[in-house]
Amino acid sequence: MTFLDELRALLGPEHVLTGEDTASYTLDWRGRYQGKALAVARPGDTDAVAAVVRLCARHRVPVLPQGGNTSLCGGATPDREGGTLVLSLGRLNRVRAIDTDNDTITVEAGCVLQAVQQAAEQAGRLFPLSLAAEGSCSIGGNLATNAGGTQVLRYGNTRELTLGLEVVTPDGRVWHGLRGLRKDNTGYDLRDLYIGSEGTLGIITAATLKLYPLPVARCTALLALPGVEEAVQVLSRARAGFGAMLTGFELMAGYCLQGVVRLYPQQRLPFSGVSAESPWFALLELSDSESEAHARERFEQVLGEVLEAGLATDAAIAENVAQSRALWHLRESIPLAEAAFGKAVKHDVSVPISRIADFVRTTNGLLQASFPGVTHVIFGHLGDGNLHYNVAPAPGQAEAELLALQSRIYQVVHDSVHAHQGSISAEHGVGQLKVDELTRYKDPLELELMRRIKLALDPDGIMNPGKVVRV
Amino acid sequence: MTFLDELRALLGPEHVLTGEDTASYTLDWRGRYQGKALAVARPGDTDAVAAVVRLCARHRVPVLPQGGNTSLCGGATPDREGGTLVLSLGRLNRVRAIDTDNDTITVEAGCVLQAVQQAAEQAGRLFPLSLAAEGSCSIGGNLATNAGGTQVLRYGNTRELTLGLEVVTPDGRVWHGLRGLRKDNTGYDLRDLYIGSEGTLGIITAATLKLYPLPVARCTALLALPGVEEAVQVLSRARAGFGAMLTGFELMAGYCLQGVVRLYPQQRLPFSGVSAESPWFALLELSDSESEAHARERFEQVLGEVLEAGLATDAAIAENVAQSRALWHLRESIPLAEAAFGKAVKHDVSVPISRIADFVRTTNGLLQASFPGVTHVIFGHLGDGNLHYNVAPAPGQAEAELLALQSRIYQVVHDSVHAHQGSISAEHGVGQLKVDELTRYKDPLELELMRRIKLALDPDGIMNPGKVVRV
């Protein structure tokens, strides 16, 4: 029997796709990475995943695990050789258990993030991971890339939300590490090694995740700010004044929000006059275990002090849930509006929060010196030091002209990130996009240690080859 | 030149101890593990640590890194062969940097935990790691064992408090991983692999740690509870009602606190009559970013509901800082009082919070069946599912008689932990005490993966041999 015959015998022919049926699995959702697959396998449970991987190991067929296929770095797209098996986790989409006394949920890798959020909410709990792709990305992909998002300031990245994992190893065995423990010091931290390894060390098939109480109320405020320095000072005061109630702190260049309200006239800024023209805005979110009134009271006090100190020029506190949603909607509309600003060269970077103002000023200057007139589309999670620092065409510049400069722009921005002790991939991972960039910026010793781990755990190199690290 | 000659030439003879001068480094602080050292090296900085390790690698001399020597599992004590070099990190005790805008502190491994707490506080920030040995343990040891303590419920273990590490590898190179970033997805998570590896993969020489705003107020309450089931229900209500204000939730068997006030008459319970005789107590701590009055108000409301629901029989809310301290002092006096209860067989275990009541009931029963009359000295961090489940002599039983049963008691308790999907080492690590226990309870695949990592990162096996995992 050929490999494909064996695969069909294993899963049933309906769960082995070939030829044109693989199309949606070999192109990433933004249409930037086109690969080719030997086949797509759709196993229905962990044992079937393990059996498929054993088959691949025997035939030395490379395996690419895929969830919602929403990677921004080509992490879930095969190469063009056509020798890779895409292993879709889509059918592993069960919520296996919810334990409200332990505040944990155990889910399979193929669960869509939003389904996990909803299952938690139905049990009266919060699963706080939240990001733009939540309606289509899978929790397995979130784990594979240690996804971040908008609630990291309070709840951490996917890593901090995970207690246990079930993993299929590259030789097709199952590590049963689905522990629901908040303290467990019995050996090396395999869990966090698999998280963020983008399927290059094994396949995460299920996870036990932390839940939190649902907040009684959420309240949002928008601030108009004169500059990034002031935003950093406001963040510091907000952390002190709100404590762990502060669950979001998003920074947005004025250009972004002014673009959103220009493009989508049904949306509006809660400011007029000079405040509406502010060079920067920040969106703050409080989650309150008491009441909406209490959250608003806290906003009034702390933001009052911030205004008095001249750190912000204006503030609008949402008066009800609808207004809170409208403010979030402004923030969430930026990526959509970006398309209209002209296709941008995008960066997902982080620097220490104390260096972020200098980073923005310096990098803007370097870009203007080399690429006069380009537009800075800057927004992101200031509370995590994480900016989506995107570069759009200059007024009148053709998209193609800018995209031709892409690798030079990457280098200017990433060199600056590196000089500011930052990370060139804050929350989107490495995938295939940044493998070579890593060799430019990472300590060679660190790359060597990564390679040794890859060789130790995947000696035949069959797991998602070409991603994260080259062996 | 011999190895010792070279070592003296490297560090200066005053920083190489031999013979009787090594006494305090070869016996653990509780006097339970007596080892023997080839010598004790006291390098003064990271480069000197790396040079010592290179020398050891060349001579194939095993290296045991040591901080405050407060391990409860013999993790920092050499074996009796006398061939191991103890590498004391004590001279690496500088606070390298505090960045209040980034809310980070960078410290060397030999800093005493309390010194880190104090440096943070002087900068107006909180470093929340807090545990009994904080006056003498070092942050390097906390990192090596992923130490827990009393604030984990809100702030996590040492792992969750760490952003970056500097590590000397077993071949004597330095990994410069001192990042102050809250988001960084550029490859495998080496940081968390070194954290908790107890010096078996390399030597942590410095770390960049998270800081938090200092709470404006802290307030403590003591509850009298009818049973563990009720304690778990109170925890659930407290998490919902207080949100992240809840920074401590300690459970204590009545026997413990009643013993404390009997032994130390200057201490007293805030209850009288039947409440003072309660079978269980819980200590709750709130940290408030508003005011002490607000914290008390919150306590009154939520604990009022708890009393009304019959989940607790009595509650005492501290009316000022002195009373809060007095309540904590009751809890902190338990380990001291334990000595007077008779030397106990100790366990540091965790189970899912939802199973903790069943675990206590079942395990108490199993012990009484096999060892009639033994005393259950149970206390710990309920919010983390972590109990110090200690077994003291039966009334009138000699200590020696109980200690002779130690390995049988371990087995009864750890078998029960395992049956409840728990961990036999929640926050104290493995050291030499639990290496064989791990082989009994861990999935063989997990042990194999640990061994592969050990071989990949320490191929010559010179780092803290005999601890955590046997290769």
Q: What domains appear along chain B, each with residue ranges and CATH number? A: 3-88 (3.30.43.10), 95-213 (3.30.465.10), 217-420 (3.30.70.2190)
Instruction: Return phi, psi of residue B426, to 5°.
Output: -80, -50
Residues of B in contact with A455 (CB under 8 A): 456
Does A386 sit within 8 Å of B183, measured CB to CB?
yes
Specify the higher pLDDT residue, A335 or B64.
B64
CB proximity under 8 Å: B 357-386 to A = 381, 383-386
Other Cβ atoms within 10 Å of B21 Cβ, number: 12
3-class secondary structure for chain B? CCHHHHHHHHHCHHHEECHHHHHHHHECCCCCCECCEEEEECCCCHHHHHHHHHHHHHHCCCEEEECCCCCCCCCCCCCCCCCEEEEECCCCCCEEEEECCCCEEEEECCCEHHHHHHHHHHCCEECCCCCCCCCCCEHHHHHHHCCCCCCHHHHCCCHHHEEEEEEECCCCCEEEECCCCCCCCCCCCHHHHHCCCCCCCCEEEEEEEECEECCCEEEEEEEEECCHHHHHHHHHHHHHHHHHHEEEEEEEEHHHHHHHHHHCCCCCCCCCHHHHCCCEEEEEEEEECCCHHHHHHHHHHHHHHHHHCCCCCEEEECCCHHHHHHHHHHHHCHHHHHHHHCCCECCEEECCHHHHHHHHHHHHHHHHHHCCCCEEEEEEEHHHCEEEEEEECCCCCCHHHHHHCHHHHHHHHHHHHHHCCCECCCCCCCCCCCHHHHHHHCCHHHHHHHHHHHHHHCCCCCECCCCCCCC
pLDDT at A340 over 90: no
**What is the pairing mode between strands A125-126 and A212-213?**
antiparallel
The H or E element spanning position A446 is: helix A444-457
Q: Which residues pair with A286 in a beta bridge?
A: A219, A246
A91 vs chain B: nearest CA distance in angstroms?
26
Written as six digits, the tokens of B443 are 């999935």
- The answer to whether the CB of A373 falls within 8 A of the CB of A395 is yes
- The answer to whether the CB of B250 falls within 8 A of the CB of B212 is no
Q: Is B245 on the interface with A (CB under 8 A)?
A: yes
Does A449 sit within 8 Å of B452, measured CB to CB?
no
Q: Is B293 on the interface with A (CB under 8 A)?
A: no
pLDDT tens-digit map of A100-115: 999 999 999 999 999 9
pLDDT confidence band for B30 (50 / 70 / 90): confident
Q: Which residues pair with B99 in a beta bridge?
A: B104
pLDDT at B453 over 90: yes
**Unique residue bearing structure tokens 């015998």:** A9
pLDDT confidence band for B162 (50 / 70 / 90): very high
Nearest to B446 among A177, A241, A381 (CB): A177
CA atoms within 13 A on the CB side of A333: 23
pLDDT tens-digit map of B239-279: 999 999 999 999 999 999 999 999 999 999 999 999 999 99
What was the pLDDT predicted at B29?
85
pLDDT tens-digit map of A270-290: 999 999 999 999 999 999 999
CB proximity under 8 Å: B 15-34 to A = none
Written as six digits, the tokens of B88 are 């004391």
What was the pLDDT predicted at A343?
87
What was the pLDDT predicted at A31?
86
Q: Is B102 on the interface with A (CB under 8 A)?
A: yes
* CA separation, residue B153 to residues B149, B245, B250, B331 (Å): 9, 10, 10, 16
Give me the total of CB pairs closer than 8 Å, taking one residue from chain A and one from chain B: 282
Whole-model pTM: value is 0.97
pLDDT at B358 over 90: yes
Q: Is B458 on the interface with A (CB under 8 A)?
A: no
- The answer to whether the CB of A333 falls within 8 A of the CB of A370 is no
Q: Is A215 on the interface with B (CB under 8 A)?
A: yes
| Packing angle, helices B406-419 and B356-370, rounded to 10 | 150
What was the pLDDT predicted at A215?
96
3-class secondary structure for B427-442? CCCCCCCCHHHHHHHC
Written as six digits, the tokens of B202 are 């390399």
A17 vs chain B: nearest CA distance in angstroms?
31
Torsion of CA B349, B351, B354, B355, to 10 degrees: -90
Q: Which of B332, B324, B349 is nearest to B419 (CA)?
A: B349
Residues of B in contact with A469 (CB under 8 A): 187-188
How far apart CA B129 and CA B150 sit, in angstroms, is: 8
pLDDT at B339 over 90: no
A372 burial (CB, 10 Å; 0-12 / 13-18 / 19+) is exposed
Does B103 sit within 8 Å of A239, measured CB to CB?
yes
- The answer to whether the CB of B223 falls within 8 A of the CB of B270 is no
pLDDT at A30 over 90: no
Interface test with B, best of A182, A235, A239, A471 (most B CBs within 10 A): A182
Q: Is B444 on the interface with A (CB under 8 A)?
A: no
**Average pLDDT score over residue span B69-75:** 91
pLDDT tens-digit map of A66-107: 999 999 899 999 999 999 999 999 999 999 999 999 999 999
Does A288 sit within 8 Å of B185, measured CB to CB?
no
pLDDT tens-digit map of A180-215: 999 999 999 999 999 999 999 999 999 999 999 999
- The answer to whether the CB of B137 falls within 8 A of the CB of B112 is yes
pLDDT at A157 over 90: yes
What was the pLDDT predicted at B471?
87
How far apart CA A171 and CA A217 sit, in angstroms, is: 48
A356 vs chain B: nearest CA distance in angstroms?
10
pLDDT confidence band for B290 (50 / 70 / 90): very high
pLDDT tens-digit map of B114-145: 999 999 999 999 999 999 999 999 999 999 99
Q: Is B186 on the interface with A (CB under 8 A)?
A: yes
How far apart CA A17 and CA A20 sit, in angstroms, is: 8
Quote the mean pLDDT of chain B.
96
**Average pLDDT score over residue span A382-408:** 95
What was the pLDDT predicted at B340?
85
The region that residue A202 occupies, defined by phi over 0 for left and psi between -120 and 50 for alpha, beta otherwise, is left
CB proximity under 8 Å: B 319-348 to A = none
pLDDT tens-digit map of A341-372: 888 999 999 999 999 999 999 999 999 999 99
Residues of A in contact with B189 (CB under 8 A): 146, 159, 189, 192-193, 195-197
